[in-house]
Amino acid sequence: MKRLYLFLYIYPVILSAQTFTVLGDRLVLPSDRSTSSSVVIEKNDFAHRTNLQEVLKDISGMNIVENGPYGGTSTYFIRGFGRGQVKVFLDGVELTDPTDIDRGLQLQHFSVTGLKRIEVLKGSQGALYGADASGGVILLTSDDSDSSNMYAGIASNETWSGGLYTQARQDDWRIRFNGDFVTTEGISAYNENRLSTSAEKDFYKRNALNLNVNNIKYKSGLSIKVISAKQDIDNSFTGDVINNDLSRYDHRIYSAFTEQESDSGQLKLKATIARSEIERIVQTNNFEGHIDQVHLELSWLASEKSSSVLFSDLSKDYATTSSEFKDKEQESIALGGTHYLSLGKFFSDQSVRLDKAQAYSSRISGRLGVGYNIDEKMTVKSQVATGFKTPTLYQRFSNFGGREDLKATTTESGQVSISYNSKSSQSEVIVFSNNANNLIDYNQANSSYLNLGETKAYGVELTSRQDYQRLSLTESITWMRARNKTTGADLERRPRWFSNLGALYKFNDSYEFRLSHQAVSKRNDQGKLPYYDLYNLGMSYSFGDKTIDFDLNNLFGREYESVRFYGTLGRNFKLQLRWSL
C-alpha cells in the first residue's frame, strides 16, 4: 500500500498542502482524490475542548440536540438522518447500544481525551459499513503520540473535570493509557421557565478509562475502554421536581487486532475482534446487552492506478436476561469490496456489500463515486449510494409496541460538489438528496411500531475557510428540507437551516483569541420551536509546556430549547489548564 500512498500524494494534481487525508473510504486518500464528503478534525483543533459533542456541532450538515445540557440523551442528525442511521467507530470497532430504541450511541458520555483525530463521512455508507450507516459514519482515532499530558478544569454549575494521557515503551512493547472525569451539580434538565416553582438540579458524574497494549514488531494489540456515568434525569410529566429519577450508564469495550503485510507492501491483512457491553438503568427500567464483532479486511495494490479492499463483518446483538426484552438476539454477516481507480485527473471508486441478518432479508448496498481535478485548485466530484436501517431489538421485542414483522428501512442518497483549495483559502459547495422507504416510526394511536412510508431530505452545504497571517475565518451554512413524502410535514427536530461562523486570531505565539456564532432556524418539535443564535468567546494563553484556556459561552444569555421542554445553559464559563509531562 505504501506505493499507492506515495503515488496519490506526489501526482501533479494533488498540490494543495491544505488537503487532508480520508480514512473512511477504507483506503488512505487525500481529500481531493476521494469522492466522499468528509470532514477531518485534528487534535490541535479540539485540544481546548473536552466533550465530543462540542466538536461535532461545528460540522456542516450535522446538528445535535440534547435532552438537557449535562448527560442528557443526545440525538445527532447528518443531512436529516438521525443517530440510528449514523454509525460511530473507535479504531475500527463499532460503538453502539443494542438495547437502545434506535441502536444509537449515547454520544453525550464520550469525551475527546485520548483522541487524535475525528473524521465524519456524510452520505450513505452502507456499501462500506453496512446497516445503520445511511446518514454517514463518525470515525474516532486514538492518540498514539509519544508525549504525555494532563488537563484540569472548572466550569459553571460547580463543574469539575480532568484528564490524563500517558504512554511507555520497552523494546517492541508499547502501553498507552488515558482517563478523564467530569462531575457537575448541573441544572434542571427540564426547562424551569415552564414551571411556577423551582425544579431540582440534575447532577452528572462520569469517569472513563482506556488502556492499549501493542506489540510493534508483530503489529498486534489489545484495548480496553470503560465508561461509567450517573445522573439525575428529567421528568417532563411532573416538572422534574422529584428526586427519584436516577439514571446509570456503563459501557465496556474490549478489542484485539492484528495486521500483517507482504514484503512488497502490495497485500495487507487486518483482523479485529471486539465485544461492546452496555448496562443502562433509566429510572426503574433496566437495559443490558452486548455486541460481538469480527472484522476481516484484505487490501491489495494491483498497480499505482488501482487498488482494492475486500472485507467481511460478523456482528451479533444480544439482550441479557436482566433486560426488558430478555434473551433476544439478532445476528448479521456481511461480505463486501471496494475498488479505487486513478487515471490522471480522473478518479473513481466502486463499492458493493451483501448483508444477511435474522431481522431482514438479504440486502445489497452499493456506492459509485467519480471525481475530476479541473486544475491544481478546483475539484468536482459526485457520488450515489444505497443503504438500509435494520429494525432494532427494542423495536422488535419491546413490551411497548414491539413488532417482529417490521421491515428494514431502505435508503438512496446522492451528492455533487465542487471545491477550491489554495494555500490560504478553501471553499466547497455540496448539493445532496436522500430518500428513505419503509421508515420505522412509533404509532401513538395504537402504541406500536410500524413502517410508516417515505421520507425525503435534500439541501445545500456551503463551507469556506480563509487563512491570513494571524487571522483565520471559517463559515458553514446548511439549508435543508427534510419531510415526510406522504404527509408533506417537516420531520421532527430538523431545522430548515443552521450555520456556524468562527474567527481565530493569534496575537503572537502565546495568545490566541476565538469568537464563534451559531444560528439555528425554526423546526418542528411537537409544534414549532423558535429560531435561536449563540455567541461564544474564547482565549488561550501558552507559556512553556502549559496552556490556559478560557471560554465564555452563550455570551448574551440567550434562552432557548433545542428539544421541547428541556433546559439549556445560559451564560456559562469554562477554565482549563493543560500541561505536558
CA distance linking residue 383 with residue 367, whole number of Å: 7
pLDDT of residue 245: 62
In one-letter notation, the amino acid at residue 122 is: K
Q: With contact defined as beta carbons under 8 Å apart, do 83 and 76 qualify?
A: yes
Averaged in consecutive runs of 10 residues, what is the pLDDT profile of the chain (581 residues)?
A: 33 38 79 90 89 89 88 88 90 89 88 93 93 93 92 96 94 95 87 74 92 95 96 61 71 96 88 94 83 94 87 90 73 94 94 86 92 95 94 85 88 96 93 92 79 90 94 96 88 94 95 96 93 96 96 95 90 96 88
Q: With contact defined as beta carbons under 8 Å apart, do 528 and 543 qualify?
A: no
Task: Collect all residues with Cβ–Cβ distance below 8 Å to 505 and sequence separation of at least 6.
Answer: 470, 471, 472, 512, 513
In one-letter notation, the amino acid at residue 330 is: Q
Nine-digit cell string for 387: 443503504
| β-strand partners of 195 | none
CA distance linking residue 558 with residue 309, whole number of Å: 50
pLDDT of residue 533: 96
pLDDT of residue 229: 94
pLDDT of residue 572: 96
Is the Cα torsion angle 9, 11, 16, 21 positive or negative in sign?
Answer: negative
Q: With contact defined as beta carbons under 8 Å apart, do 277 and 287 qualify?
A: no
User: First CA to last CA across the chain, in angstroms?
Assistant: 35
